[in-house]
């Protein structure tokens, strides 16, 4: 049995383990273990959103057992304290683990550069726990400030300083600027009392971005009343202040440190060659230069690709690319094949400044396009969605959209609050029952006709004929119209036809073509399929009606309602009231049966059963 151990369930580790599981699916003699000190994978790129109350704490965690459900990966919960590369063993706090092949992806931690008091007195933002702690601190300061009468103390409590104006620092201060309005309302604080500062030694914020985007970010932050201090050395942090330069002391109870990162504690102590700030030196195959059965993924890599001057960036895209390459090279180690060299192509950087605004330089390595505002945020969300699809599929994309768009509070999204305003479901109950009754009445009437004469066709118009034949038939019809009642019904039919919603010619053309193909025989009669179709339409009207009235599988009935109304419209026979069905159907899709309907009782039970089906869990086809 060959043992592969992936250490660290971050962006790099999770993707490597998933790819390895796929490649070794059928190999019984290969065991893959993923070891992390936490039972979940943290969305590091969204820590600031939790810290500043934009999304719930749960929004940035993904359960490892869910990610690897049905996959050949054993999840091990342990903190590794040392690695003995000579005897191929990992020493954990709980156990010792042997490996034949190891992938190290333990990420980073904040670097304090020996600045006095920085580590002891500032808040960092490099883990889920950091984000939660910071959020509590921010809220606590607002809460305490309302009880404090000393103006200096109050000012200190309501001053928040972010040290570091790279993308983590700017994202944090931007998010805080957006949170300020909400906090001030909640704790009865005047907004002018809250001071937000971002400070950096570098001469400008976001130095990795092009100047025009830096200017836009700078302008937006200032508009949000953030003070930007650049080109100033951070000399120290005390329990109640940060010292900039020689003697510029800003009194603050909350100093947030985002000024730099270094390799994780574990990596710093490992007996392998390192470069940069505690990064493991690798060759082009991403193997440690000391041990070729040890690969390095994500932020832990120190490798300068051919033709480049700087090491690969410590960003998610690097973790993603390196995971793919390592999985391939490791398969070659075990099964043979040609290993590949790491030649990553990066596609830019996106920085959000709160939930409503962002800047982005995205494209190809040769040509980056610059975006700000709506489009920048759109790209940031799209990139996240692409990642989530790889990791937790539909399940995560769904919850992400809920957290970021559909359940967002205080309009903190790039689409504002337009998609998140909600009204209670019970307002929809009358509409649901009304649409249901209307379908039922319609279907009931038609079912009566069908039972009377199953061969009578009334839902599909007769095949269009040439002018002479049509005229002759019309005359025949007039001649055969003998009684007044039939005549009246003909007139009524004609007037209904006139009131039908007009259909554009191109749709009519397509419908005629498909009806010719399926419903008409060459002599102008109807095919058997036409009779089946008519029967199904009538049955659907009755069934959807009953489902809507009972509130049973309402979403399906509502989608069916929309689909049927579109079908009837395209056939050219829809009266204007068909709009009611269509728009009513849309309104009813989102859980209208879960109030005073059977779905209220049924869905929770069905959901539990559904989630237990292996293929559903394996492909993440459920919501939480």
Applying CB under 6 A, which residues contact ligand FAD? Answer: 8-13, 35-38, 44-45, 47-48, 79-80, 105-107, 125-126, 167-168, 171, 264, 266, 298-299, 314-317, 319
End-to-end C-alpha distance for the chain, whole angstroms: 36
Collapsed DSSP state (helix, strand, coil) of residue 156: helix
Closest distance to ligand FAD from the beta carbon of 29 (Å): 26
User: Which residue lies nearer to ligand FAD by CB, 314 or 565?
Assistant: 314
Q: Which residue is nearest to ligand FAD (CB)?
A: 10
378 contacts: CB under 8 Å, gap ≥ 6: 414
Least Cβ distance, residue 621 to ligand FAD (angstroms):
26
For helices 528-550 and 505-518, angle between their N-to-C axes, nearest 10 degrees: 120
Break the chain down into helix, strand, coil percent, rounded to 5: 50, 20, 35
Please state the closest distance from residue 408 (CB atom) to ligand FAD, in A: 19
Tokens of 617: 């869990």
* Closer to ligand FAD by Cβ: residue 126 or 569: 126
Contact 405, 420 (CB under 8 A): yes
Cα angle, residue 580 at apex, residues 574 and 582 outer, rounded to 5°: 75
Residue 378 vs 582, nearer CB to ligand FAD = 378
What DSSP state is assigned to residue 575? B
Q: Which is nearer to ligand FAD, 174 or 436 (CB)?
A: 174
Helices (H), 354-428: 374-401
CB of 299 to ligand FAD, least distance (A): 4
Please tell me the number of Cα atoms within 13 Å of 82 on its side-chain side.
5
Report the residue number, 47 or 548, with the smaller CB distance to ligand FAD. Answer: 47
CA-CA distance, 95 to 87, in Å (whole number)?
Answer: 15
**Residue 9 or 391 having the CB closest to ligand FAD:** 9
Q: How far is the CB of 47 from ligand FAD (least distance, A)?
A: 4
What is the distance between the alpha carbons of residues 352 and 155, in angstroms, rounded to a whole number? Answer: 28
Q: Which is nearer to ligand FAD, 36 or 218 (CB)?
A: 36
Work out whether strand 248-251 and strand 241-244 pair parallel, antiparallel, or are unpaired: antiparallel
CB of 38 to ligand FAD, least distance (A): 5
Q: CB–CB of 279/294 below 8 Å?
A: no
Contact residues for 16 (Cβ-Cβ < 8 A; gap 6+):
6, 103, 105, 297, 323, 326, 327
Residue pair 358/366 in contact (Cβ under 8 Å)? The answer is no
Q: How far is the CB of 391 from ligand FAD (least distance, A)?
A: 12
What is the rounded CA–CA span in Å between residue 320 and residue 383? 12
Cα–Cα dist 74/590, whole Å: 38
Q: Please, which residue, 60 or 197, has the CB nearer to ligand FAD? A: 60
- In the complex, what is the shortest distance from the CB of residue 623 to ligand FAD, in angstroms, rounded to a whole number? 25
Please identify, using beta-carbon distances, which residue of 298 and 443 lies nearer to ligand FAD: 298
Nearer to ligand FAD, 377 or 548 (CB): 377
- Least CB distance from residue 130 to ligand FAD, whole Å? 8
Q: What's the min distance (Å) between Cβ of 313 and ligand FAD? A: 8
Q: Which residues contact 584 (CB under 8 A, 6 or more apart)?
A: 431, 434, 435, 561
């Amino acid at each position: 049995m060959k043992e592969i151990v992936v250490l660290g369930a971050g962006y790099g580790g999770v993707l490597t383990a998933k790819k390895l599981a796929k490649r070794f699916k059928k190999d019984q003699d290969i065991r893959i273990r993923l070891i992390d000190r936490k039972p979940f994978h943290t969305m590091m790129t969204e820590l600031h959103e939790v810290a500043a109350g934009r999304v719930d704490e749960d929004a940035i965690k993904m359960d490892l057992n869910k990610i690897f459900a049905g996959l050949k990966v054993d999840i091990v919960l342990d903190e590794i304290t040392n690695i003995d590369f000579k005897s191929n063993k990992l020493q954990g706090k709980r156990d010792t683990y042997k490996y034949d092949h190891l992938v190290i992806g333990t990420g980073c931690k904040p670097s304090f550069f020996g600045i006095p008091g920085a580590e002891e007195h500032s808040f960092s933002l490099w883990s889920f726990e950091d984000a939660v702690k910071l959020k509590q601190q921010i809220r606590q300061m607002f809460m305490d400030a309302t009880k404090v009468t000393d103006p200096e103390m109050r000012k200190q409590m309501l001053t928040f300083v972010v040290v570091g104006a790279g993308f983590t620092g700017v994202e944090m201060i931007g998010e805080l600027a957006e949170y300020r309005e909400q906090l001030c309302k909640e704790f009865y604080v005047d907004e002018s009392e809250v001071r937000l500062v971002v400070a950096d030694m570098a001469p400008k914020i976001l130095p990795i971005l092009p100047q025009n985007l830096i200017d836009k970010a700078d302008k937006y932050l200032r508009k949000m009343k953030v003070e930007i201090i650049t080109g100033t050395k951070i000399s120290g942090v005390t329990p109640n202040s940060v010292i900039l330069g020689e003697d510029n002391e800003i009194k603050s109870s909350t100093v947030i440190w985002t000024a730099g990162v270094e390799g994780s504690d574990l990596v710093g102590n490992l007996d392998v060659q390192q470069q940069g700030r505690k990064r493991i030196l690798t060759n082009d195959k991403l193997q440690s230069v000391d041990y070729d059965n040890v690969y390095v993924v994500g932020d832990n890599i120190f490798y300068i690709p051919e033709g480049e001057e700087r090491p690969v960036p410590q960003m998610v895209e690097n973790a993603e690319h390196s995971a793919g390459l390592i999985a391939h090279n490791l398969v070659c180690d075990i099964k043979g094949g040609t290993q590949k060299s790491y030649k990553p192509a990066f596609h830019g950087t996106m920085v959000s400044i709160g939930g409503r605004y962002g800047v982005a330089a995205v494209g190809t390595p040769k040509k980056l396009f610059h975006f700000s505002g709506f489009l920048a945020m759109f790209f940031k969300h799209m990139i996240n969605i692409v990642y989530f699809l790889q990791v937790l599929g539909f399940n995560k994309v769904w919850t992400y959209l809920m957290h970021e768009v559909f359940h967002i509070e205080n309009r903190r999204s790039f689409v504002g609050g337009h998609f998140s305003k909600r009204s209670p479901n019970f307002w929809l109950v009358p509409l649901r029952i009304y649409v249901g009754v209307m379908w039922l009445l319609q279907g009931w009437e038609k079912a009566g006709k069908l039972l009377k004469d199953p061969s009578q066709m009334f839902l599909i118009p007769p095949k269009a004929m040439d002018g002479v034949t049509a005229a002759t038939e019309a005359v025949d019809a007039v001649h055969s119209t003998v009684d007044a009642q039939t005549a009246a019904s003909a007139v009524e039919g004609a007037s209904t036809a006139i009131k039908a919603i007009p259909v554009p010619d191109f749709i009519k053309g397509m419908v005629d073509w498909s009806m010719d193909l399926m419903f008409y025989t060459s002599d102008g009669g109807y095919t058997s399929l036409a009779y089946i179709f008519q029967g199904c339409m009538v049955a659907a009207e009755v069934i959807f009606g009953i489902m809507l009235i009972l509130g049973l599988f309402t979403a399906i009935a509502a989608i069916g309602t929309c689909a049927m109304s579109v079908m009837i419209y395209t056939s050219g026979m829809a009266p204007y009231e068909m709009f009611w069905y269509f728009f009513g159907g849309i309104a009813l899709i989102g859980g209208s049966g879960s109030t005073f309907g059977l779905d209220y009782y049924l869905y929770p039970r069905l959901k539990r059963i559904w989630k237990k089906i292996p293929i559903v869990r394996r492909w993440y086809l459920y919501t939480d």
